[in-house]
Amino acid sequence: MNTAQQLGYPEHTKLLIIHADDAGLSHSHNRATVQCLDIGIVNSYSIMVPCPWYYEIAVFAKNNPKYDYGIHLTLTCEWNNYKFGPVAPLSEVPSLVDENGYFYKTREELRQHAKPEHVAKELDTQIQKALDFGLKPTHLDVHMYSVGAHADFFKAYKNVGKTYTLPIMVSGELLAMVGLNPNQIIKPEDLTTQKIHIGNFDLFQADALNEYYAHVAENLVPGLNVLLLHPAYDDKEMKAITIDHPNFGAEWRQIDTDFFTNPKNKSLFEHEDIRMVTWEELQTVIPRPHKQSKP
């Protein structure tokens, strides 16, 4: 049974979420994300709680509940000169940081050093910080899909989803990309994304990202499709953050912003067999905790 069937649609229905990652990473990223929501075709986004510009986007989310947003759980920091670390006290999650107290740059470093109990602690702390601020996230997803660095990390991810009764992004494609066997991780009852649509570095280098996005609708599969983008501006702030890191760098993020705020591109996703959905709608099909009867 695919996600469309879980929601009560016919098996062949193509569900689509156009989702912006990395809100909170920078002021540039926040401004572009808001633009994509206000005048563009993005219908969901997620927030990085540990980042310096989290507060700005958290205020926006709180004041604009009409937009679907989740928590972009973060355990890695890939940038060379722009750093952030755990929300939990370092003394409680020491295995998650390098010698300078920041998140590791890569999933491999995380896999080598992180203890599952520290991962679980940090994931929970990030969610709790957002809830304490008054946010009402519709789902959980993960920066760089770093919970896939180890099966025990992914178990912690699933557990926080159950604890807070929130859908989590479960993708066989992403699991395989980060080195886990989807057949060993994904259970029949999991709310699973059937297809992830995301640009890659080869497309960026070939100046073919726009062409790729323009043809995503033609390559949707029955069930849940998530189109992932990373909006920001190619300005001084993002150039500094992404220096020597063209993969998902400032230029790439400007391309994403321009494509998904262009009103002409909205028609590309208006097909009879495509239904736009949000994570909030998907909340209706996740298992709810059983209430214990009073003695």
Which amino acid is residue 107, in one-letter code?
R
Domains of the chain: 3-285 (3.20.20.370)
Which amino acid is residue 88, in one-letter code?
A
Q: What are 26's two structure tokens?
A: 């920078």
pLDDT in tens, 38-65: 999 999 999 999 999 999 999 999 999 9
Tell me which residue has tokens 């993005």: 42
Q: In the predicted model, is pLDDT for residue 295 greater than 70?
A: no
The secondary element (H helix, E strand) that includes residue 274 is strand 274-276
Q: What are 223's two structure tokens?
A: 């069930």
pTM higher than the cut 0.75: yes
Q: Which of 70-84, 163-177, 259-273, 277-291 has the lowest mean pLDDT?
A: 277-291
β-bridge partners, 274: 14
Q: What are 283's two structure tokens?
A: 């909340």
- Is residue 129 a contact partner of residue 72, using CB atoms and an 8 Å limit? no
Buried b or exposed e, range 235-254, using 16+ CB within 10 angstroms: bebbeebbeebeebbbebbb
Would you place residue 294 in the very low, low, confident or very high pLDDT band (cuts 50, 70, 90)? very low
Would you place residue 195 in the very low, low, confident or very high pLDDT band (cuts 50, 70, 90)? very high
Confidence (pLDDT) at 250: 98
Distance CA 65, CA 212 (A): 31
Q: What is the mean pLDDT of residues 67-71?
A: 98
Average pLDDT over the chain reads 95
Q: In the predicted model, is pLDDT for residue 291 greater than 50?
A: no
Q: In the predicted model, is pLDDT for residue 34 greater than 70?
A: yes
Distance CA 148, CA 98 (A): 19
pLDDT in tens, 4-23: 998 899 999 999 999 999 99
Distance CA 148, CA 238 (A): 27
pLDDT in tens, 151-180: 999 999 999 999 999 999 999 999 999 999
Would you place residue 288 in the very low, low, confident or very high pLDDT band (cuts 50, 70, 90)? low
